[in-house]
Amino acid sequence: MRIRASLAAATMSGALALTALAIPAAQADDAPSLAEVAKPYTLGQAQTQKTQNKMSAKDVYDIQVTKVTVNGGKDVVVGGSQKKQFNVYVTATNPAGIYGVQAFLWHGTDLYDEYGIDGGIFPADTDPSTDCERWSATTATCKVVLVADPKVDLYDSALNGKWNVYAAAYEDSENGLEWSQYQNHWVKRAAQITSFNAAPEPVAKGKPITVSGNLSMISWTYKKYYGYGSQNVQLQFKKAGSSTYSTLKTVKSSSSGALKTTVNATGDGTFRYYYPGNGNASTATSSADYVDVR
């Protein structure tokens, strides 16, 4: 929905807000709820659809957010220790011009309910970002920098999956339009394939080659990688002299994430495992191993 409003007075600095996320409200009674943390970044208390419908078309549509792009359209993939920085670009139009934008990601069911949000990735500053490319007197694309910290924002593995995207555009430092349609973006746990090996090498033509590896996924809860079982992983092969891989077969990982299969040697080339990912885990590609066939 789109709502004409004034920017709520910031009651918490960006640094304090990010610090507050380190202790989920469910675990600390004196910690602010994430809905409270989010308030300084929004345009104020949300109005209901019924209230919005009573507003004039001019009030609602003076400012229009026409496009929001998160992380270049790619999944936001976060491991267990390194912070992930990514950009949100908001394109908006307004007859009086665009002053700046605000944007963040949140996880939950209701941004304005005390118990409706259980995760948030917020910018460092509660004020609108004025880092904008102004295409004309009425249209601009502005950038908001977000940093996902697995030690702060992603405190539980249950937070992987689709997150909601909040975006707002402003015609001056206070007056803006909230754009909180149900746009989503994937925030996923990092997956990896390790201990990859294709053997023996060299090998006689027609003889079996054993290809092994291990698929694992980060736990945001425990900040460690654990074997990821019952996942379909593609064994891929690139012929010598070729630049592209083809899939030879699909291998299911064991309960501990182990991968193992055999193929017959047909010619020189490079093997690798490729995991396409799912709603929880990112894609993953193993190292490559060249096998000489004689």
Decide if pLDDT at 48 tops 80: no
Taken in order of first residue, the domains within the chain and their CATH numbers are 2-188 (2.70.50), 191-291 (2.60.40.730)
DSSP three-state, residue 126 = coil
pLDDT of 113 reads 87
Question: How far is it, in rounded angstroms, from Cα 211 to Cα 199?
Answer: 7
pLDDT of 16 reads 33
Q: Which backbone phi and psi does 38 adopt, to 5 degrees? A: -75, -25
Question: How far is it, in rounded angstroms, from Cα 235 to Cα 248?
Answer: 6
> Are 213 and 259 in contact, with CB atoms under 8 Å apart?
yes
**173 or 121: which leads in pLDDT:** 121
Confidence of residue 73 (pLDDT cuts 50, 70, 90): very high
For 125-165, the pLDDT digits (tens) are 999 999 999 999 999 999 999 999 998 999 999 999 999 99
- Which residues, in sequence order, are CB contacts of 120 under 8 Å at separation 6+? 21, 34, 37, 38, 104, 105, 106, 107, 153
pLDDT of 61 reads 57
